[in-house]
Amino acid sequence: MAKKSEKRKIVGLVCEACKQRHYYTTKNTMNSPDKVELTKYCPVKRVSAKQLETKKNLGRNEVKPRR
């Protein structure tokens, strides 16, 4: 069995168009130390906008295991 990995962190994605946090994702901090930048749908502005990783770690850095 594989060990429980603690390298993955939960990060929030902030929309550039409306400056709100709509999406959360996990990232491996060892493989990608740079900030995550994704293009996703913004439900407020109703357009595809760039989503950037927040500076804050949201206080929840544990990833719940799947059942």
Dig out the tokens for 49 from the structure: 């906008």
Q: How confident is the model at residue 1 (pLDDT cuts 50, 70, 90)?
A: very low
| pLDDT tens string 26-46 | 888 889 889 889 999 999 999
Q: Please tell me the CATH code under which domain 8-53 is placed.
A: 2.20.28.120
DSSP the chain: -PPPP--EEEEEEEETTT--EEEEEEEETTT--SPPEEEEEETTTTEEEEEEE-SS-TT---PPPP-
**0.85 surpassed by pTM:** no
Give domain limits for the chain.
8-53
Mean pLDDT for 3-8 is 67
